[in-house]
Amino acid sequence: METNVFYLGDCLDVMRYDIPAESIDLIYLDPPFFGTGVQEGGNKTYLTYWGKNIGNKFFDHLKRRYNIEFQKEPKIEESDSEISIKGDHNVLLKLDRETRRVELQINNTCVEILKVYKKNGRLTIHTWDPGVIQISYDDSKKFWSEKNIRENAPLWLQGLAMKKPDSHWKPLARYLYYMMERLEACRRVLKSTGSIYLHCDWRASHYLKMIMDEIFGYENFQNEIVWHYRRSSSISRFTHAHDIIFFYSKTRKKIFNPSEIKVYYKEIYGESFKPGLGDRKSGKDKNGYYKYIYLDDVWDIKGVFNLSKEFIGYPTQKPEALLERIIKASSNEGDIVLDPFCGCGTTIVVAHKLNRRWVGIDINEKAMQIIKSRLNEMGLTQSKLDFKIEYPSFKISRETLLKMTGKQFERWVNRICNATKPSYDGGVDGIMEDGTPIQTKTYKVRYDIVGKLLNDAEAHSEVPKPLKKIRVVSRKGFDESAWERKAWIERNKGIKVELLTPEDLLK
């Protein structure tokens, strides 16, 4: 398999379609923690609590693109789903809760579907960067909508999802289902001698252990590692100063290289203790009597703070010493290390220094740029093929395609076409970057579906005009009348019609 490669995409797709089964020796994953600010965004509106301080970049956007400028300071009003800006012009930002996209209206006319994010309390125009939690929220909605998935989930997870009040139980169930899908994919790619280390925090660690027991087996649980670090203190409760890392093997035939550390007797027994020497692993130096012992499951390793030499400013950066300990313990030189949420790439950097091959996955393009910079500093470059950046291939079997529901098939088509779901359907399942509208069907398509997409696309406010092309994707193909309709539209309307099957897309 290909190694020293980054995949820019959802790790679920990459592990299902691009990484062979039983090919990875060690997996370390540090997914987004449940209960973080970003996480909660999946269940709140993006406009709530933003305050009335809208960023200058937004007003610059209005002026540059629409020649809209406020001579006097406008009046800004907000609710949980709208921000109204009134003055020389009436500007409205209207949030669609389902898609979490924002419609920009100027003087009561929709002019754009904005992709926005919150930064330092300010509304800012940006190319939408979903992050894993956006995918988590989108994908896991099927937990509630598809009966077979709900029924196949563990009973305890079903019970958790139905708890009342559901203000925090349902988001937790969504998160756990999201993690379950990806941990199952991790097990698929892990060798029989492989190990997995799941990094989590106190908010969900106890639930994630139940997920790990379900997938990897209670008998393959090895350790609950406590990573203790220093941080600012709390006066309202004991300070949270540790993370949990669950260590599981796939089978009992795991790779494990025990390591030893030097400890001083006075740290264990007190100053007055005088041990007898003679063991090769004990001795005395200027700090007192010592011995070497095998490492336990409580690790005191400093975190990465703004004054650390390693600090690069990435919010979830982990210290290299932490990853070095894990990689040395559960892999050998030449083995393959996978990080499905590689973030700023610490796992990759350490794996490379320790002569391991590696595969990194992240959905955030900014993370890829940071990792490229770090590897370039190590003398590695893309041009010399020291590493590569790939996109998920979405290669799937015909059998898998046939098992997909209509919504799953629609999502797959949109991903492979790099299309987005419009904020309201209106008969259009996706819109490609060049503005081409898409309709997907799991059954054989006749002429009426082709004609309907044309009419719906012409009426849809989010489809760019004039219409140049439409695309219909059918899992089971097209009958003769659909091809006749295609020819009629192209001849009489001058609009190109693409009738495609999954096989056509994969070509």
* Residue type, position 326, single letter: I
368 and 233 within one domain = yes
Of 272, 294, 316, the last residue of a domain is 294
95 and 79 within one domain = yes
474 and 327 within one domain = no
Task: Encode pLDDT of 190-249 as tens digits.
Answer: 999 999 999 997 888 999 999 999 999 999 999 999 999 876 666 777 888 899 999 999
424 and 350 within one domain = no
Beta strands in 52-189 (DSSP E): 75-78, 82-86, 90-96, 101-106, 109-114, 116-119, 122-125
190 and 200 within one domain = yes
- How far is the C-alpha of 21 from the C-alpha of 326, rounded, in Å? 22
197 and 326 within one domain = yes
Of 390, 420, 444, the last residue of a domain is 390
Of 294, 313, 345, the last residue of a domain is 294
Q: Give pLDDT, residue 155.
A: 81
Confidence of residue 496 (pLDDT cuts 50, 70, 90): very high
CATH code for the domain of 329 = 3.40.50.150
**58 neighbors 124 (Cβ within 8 angstroms):** yes
- CA gyration radius, the chain: 27
Indicate the number of domains in the chain: 4
Question: Per DSSP, what are the bridge partners of residue 84?
Answer: 77, 92
Q: Give pLDDT, residue 151.
A: 65
- How far is the C-alpha of 192 from the C-alpha of 60, rounded, in Å? 56
pLDDT at residue 314 above 50?
A: yes
Per this entry, what is the length of the chain? 507
Q: What is the 3-state secondary structure (H, E, C) of 176-232?
A: HHHHHHHHHHHHHHEEEEEEEEEEECCCCHHHHHHHHHHHHCHHHEEEEEEEECCCC
Tell whether pTM > 0.85: no
**91 neighbors 63 (Cβ within 8 angstroms):** no
Q: Give pLDDT, residue 267.
A: 77
Token digits of residue 43: 């269940």
**Residue 129 belongs to some domain of the structure:** no
Domain of residue 434, residue span: 398-506
**Residue 138 belongs to some domain of the structure:** no
Percent of the chain residues past pLDDT 70, beyond the cut: 77
**Residue 130 belongs to some domain of the structure:** no
* Residue type, position 368, single letter: M
Within 34-101, residue ranges assigned H as helices are 37-40, 56-66
242 and 193 within one domain = yes
**Residue 176 belongs to some domain of the structure:** no
* pLDDT mean over 350-374: 86
Looking at residue 333, the DSSP 8-state letter turns out to be T
488 and 434 within one domain = yes
* Residue type, position 320, single letter: E
435 and 456 within one domain = yes
**Residue 140 belongs to some domain of the structure:** no
304 and 386 within one domain = yes
CATH code for the domain of 474 = 3.40.1350
**Residue 132 belongs to some domain of the structure:** no
**Residue 144 belongs to some domain of the structure:** no
- How far is the C-alpha of 481 from the C-alpha of 444, rounded, in Å? 11
Strand order across the 5-8 sheet = 298-300, 221-228, 242-249, 190-200, 24-29, 336-339, 357-362, 5-8, 388-390
Confidence of residue 81 (pLDDT cuts 50, 70, 90): low
Give the least confident one: 128-142, 429-443, 457-471.
128-142
Task: Encode pLDDT of 26-70 as tens digits.
Answer: 999 999 877 543 333 333 333 333 334 466 667 777 887 788 888
322 and 222 within one domain = yes
B/e letters for 205-238, b = 16+ CB within 10 Å, e = fewer, are bebbbbbbbbbbeeebebeebebebeeeeeeeee
228 and 115 within one domain = no
**Residue 473 belongs to some domain of the structure:** yes
